[in-house]
Structure 1
Amino acid sequence: MADTPHTRDLGLAVFLYDRDCGFCQRAVAFARDRLRTRTSFAAWQDSDLPALGLSPEETDAQAWLVHRDGQRLAGGDAIAGVLLGAGFPARTLGRFLLLPGVRVLNRAAYRVVAANRHRLPGGTATCALPSPRGRTTPP
């Protein structure tokens, strides 16, 4: 992957989140402020998605972590990847979340949180993800 403004000199990877979601913004602010992570954070709406190998549909559906080498992690794996780029004890938690049995639970937990992010602290109606039929989930 060629360097983009989001990957050049910004650490190991870029975490793409939904700028329109208050819950996502709060989660990213927490990671920036509390984790000593080498991950950069960018709203997917402000990113050059083709350069990162992603589409708007993919990034609207879930968070992504894109490493400088082009490796991409989605959803719960992306969260674990951010933790892996942080200091102790977050790095240990990231490793734990990627263990085979735990990874399945991490991915499922991510899907539940993502589907209900409009109901969580900081969430608003604009945080609701489109349903599979194209309708937005009601708050």
Structure 2
Amino acid sequence: MTELPVLIYDGDCGFCTRSVRLAVRLPVRMRVRTWQETDLAALGATEDRARREVLWVDRTGGVFGGAAAVAELLKSCRAPWPALGWITSAPLVRTLAAHAYRWVADNRHRLPGSTPACQLPPDQRPHRD
């Protein structure tokens, strides 16, 4: 369990970093950490998962990834954002959101804000130890 929810992202990815800069503007109290500088095991997450998707660790220790992490983040915000989070969690929308998230994650090196590190396979990206 954590005092505040934690948003974990790939700090080597420029697109991810830019996306998180938008997320921190949302009306929610949370901690934001790069996976490279986080004790993932202590939060119930793995490096393999953190390399593939953004993670949201809620106050109870629940770990959500990808589109589900974004939905949980939105549900944790003040109005009107929780409505969008609940819509994103609805069965059909959840499936579409997961596919859209995977496409973005797989193509982030082609999107605005990407860095050369985004173009490397995840296991070859530089990161801070």
The alignment's TM-score, normalised by the length of structure 1, stands at 0.82
2:56·2:64 contact (CA, 8 Å) conserved in 1? Answer: yes
- 1:17 aligned to 2:9? yes
> What is the total number of aligned residue pairs between the two structures?
125
Return the match for 1:38 from 29, 35, 41. Answer: 29
The ranges of structure 1 where at least 4 consecutive aligned residues each deviate by more than 2 angstroms after the TM superposition are 128-131
The SS at the match of 1:126 is: helix
Cα gap change, 1:90/1:129 in structure 2, threshold over 3 Å: closer, same or farther?
farther
- 1:92 aligned to 2:83? yes
Identity percentage of aligned residues: 42
The alignment's TM-score, normalised by the length of structure 2, stands at 0.88
Name the amino acid aligned to 1:109.
A
RMSD: 1.8
Cα gap change, 1:47/1:124 in structure 2, threshold over 3 Å: closer, same or farther?
same
Structure 2: stretches of 5+ with no match in the other structure? none
CA distance in 2, matches of 1:98, 1:124: 31
CA distance in 1, matches of 2:114, 2:24: 19
1:63-100 deviation line (CA, Å, top 9, x unaligned): 11111211111110001111111122221111110001
Structure 1: stretches of 5+ with no match in the other structure? 2-6
Match of 2:21 in 1: 29
**Displacement after TM superposition at 1:38 (Å):** 2.4
